[in-house]
Amino acid sequence: MATSKLNVKDATKAGALTRTASDALPEGTVEGKKLPARFKHRYTTGPFSLPENSGSLDWILLNNDPAAQTARVTVFRCPLGAPKVPEPPGPLVVNLAPGASTHNANEYTEGFIYEVQVECNSQLVFPYASVWPKNFGVVIPGTGINSGTWLRLMS
């Protein structure tokens, strides 16, 4: 269950991550159900499990397209032997200006299997996902999923 979020703020150093209220969403975010269901491209992290001491699962999008882009990001819980289900806060639709990035982080139960999916209309929108420890600091080694390792879903 989502209990904590992070947001990019001007803190003591530029680009530092700080905690915000649990109902805060990235700037420019709208509910996923308010936009068309079809995007040209769909990418997935594939299944992964959250390690012990997980504090938050963080996804980031970077728009390297010269045009503004809209993308939908969904974090799924993948229970073994059952259909995957979207985790709170549900599908998030974000609007990204050229060269802009955004992220969202939530706390999920460690030891379970998850997947992050990104849907977009440009192949110049680059996703990243990582897991932060409970004591909030740096990415847990080995948990970063870089843009080049996301799989394109064909459908």
CA distance 33 to 90: 9
pLDDT score, position 22: 44
Q: Which whole number is the average pLDDT over 105-131?
A: 94
At 52, the pLDDT band (50, 70, 90 cuts) reads confident
What mean pLDDT is predicted for residues 7-18? 40
Grade residue 9 by pLDDT with cuts at 50, 70 and 90: very low
Distances (CA, A) of 138 to 17, 61, 68, 133: 10, 18, 30, 7
- What's the whole-number mean pLDDT along residues 118-136? 91
Please state which CATH number belongs to domain 5-17+38-152: 2.60.290
Whether the pLDDT of residue 31 is over 90: the answer is no
Average pLDDT of the residues of the chain: 81
pLDDT value, residue 76: 97
Q: pLDDT at residue 117 above 50?
A: yes
Query: Any idea where the domains of the chain sit in the sequence?
Result: 5-17+38-152
Distance CA(90)–CA(118), nearest Å, equals 13
Per-residue burial over 88-117, b if 16 or more Cβ lie within 10 Å, else e, is ebebbbbbbeeebbbbbbbbbeeeeebbbb
Give percent above pLDDT 90 in the chain: 55
Q: Looking at per-residue confidence, does 143 or 33 come out higher?
A: 143
On the question of pLDDT at 3 being above 80, the answer is no
